[in-house]
């Protein structure tokens, strides 16, 4: 992997300082993502959307699309790709810059009030960059996934990595969290969100960390097949979130 992926100190500064602190109100108040704007999510239940499938992205600055236009962030690009394939989907982008798995455990309850059919859990990168304990990160992710499953949603867990100069032992243990949980809880897994994007200058912004518009399109190419497989499962089973 290229030298940019090894710039751990720069990565830590950008994600922890420039992105701002995580924000989330489990009481149901509006959340704020990207650069602090309100995430507008209607109170419409998925059962009132006809045949439309609701997909919720619970993530950090990567899902929020920090530094790119809203319609260029990969969740929106995925929505467009799935619609082109004939799927009647609507995406809720609940990405919040700087968020950790601890913040996600609070926000998931609020997000599930929207009755999504599928929840994409894209959190953990900031935990790793802060050197949080592997056990705590794993526990938080397990709680989020289990909560979504109990609510009747399908879950797509998104794997992340930390730069190798955080120490090979920590990096390996961190990366192993995601496939371990996916196997334990029986959910689908994207092995690494930034596959083919991390450390590629032409696919990242000037900070060398956050994908540019082209990078988000590449991320969408990675995520879309996993989501389509889940949607096909929904079509076969006819399952939906609890009413």
Q: Which residues are catalytic?
A: 61, 207, 210
Rounded distance between C-alpha atoms, residue 223 and residue 238, angstroms: 22
**Number of Cβ within a 10 Å radius of residue 213:** 18
Alpha helices by DSSP H, 95-167:
101-112, 125-129, 134-150
| SS3 of 68-93 | CCHHHCHHHHHHHHHHHCCCCEEEEE
Rounded distance between C-alpha atoms, residue 150 and residue 31, angstroms: 23
Q: Which residues are CB-neighbours of 236 under 8 A, at least 6 positions away?
A: none
| CB 72, CB 34: distance < 8 Å | no
At residue 96, the 3 state secondary structure works out as: coil
At residue 59, the 3 state secondary structure works out as: strand
Rounded distance between C-alpha atoms, residue 87 and residue 80, angstroms: 9
Strands 32-33 and 37-38: antiparallel
Q: Find the distance separating the first CA and the last CA of the chain, reported in whole Å.
A: 47
């Amino acid at each position: 992997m290229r030298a940019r992926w090894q710039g751990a100190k720069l990565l830590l500064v950008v994600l922890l300082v420039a992105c701002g602190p995580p924000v989330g109100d489990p009481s149901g108040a509006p959340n704020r993502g990207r650069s602090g704007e309100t995430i507008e999510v209607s109170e419409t239940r998925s059962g009132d959307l006809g045949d439309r499938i609701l997909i919720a992205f619970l993530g950090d600055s990567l899902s929020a699309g920090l530094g790119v236009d809203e319609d260029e962030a990969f969740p929106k690009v995925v929505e467009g790709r799935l619609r082109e394939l004939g799927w009647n989907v609507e995406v809720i982008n609940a990405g919040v810059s700087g968020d950790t798995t601890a913040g996600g455990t609070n926000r998931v309850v609020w997000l599930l009030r929207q009755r999504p059919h599928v929840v994409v859990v894209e959190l953990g990168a900031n935990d790793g960059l802060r050197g949080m304990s592997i056990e705590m990160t794993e526990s938080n992710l397990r709680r989020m996934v289990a909560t979504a499953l109990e609510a009747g949603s399908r879950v797509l867990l998104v794997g992340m990595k930390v730069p190798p100069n955080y120490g090979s032992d920590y990096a390996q243990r961190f990366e192993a969290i995601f496939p371990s949980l996916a196997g334990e809880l029986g959910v689908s897994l994207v092995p690494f969100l930034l596959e083919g994007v991390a450390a590629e200058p032409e696919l990242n912004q000037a900070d060398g960390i956050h994908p540019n518009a082209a990078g988000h399109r590449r991320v969408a190419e990675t995520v879309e097949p996993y989501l389509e497989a889940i949607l096909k499962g929904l079509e076969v089973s006819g399952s939906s979130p609890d009413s």
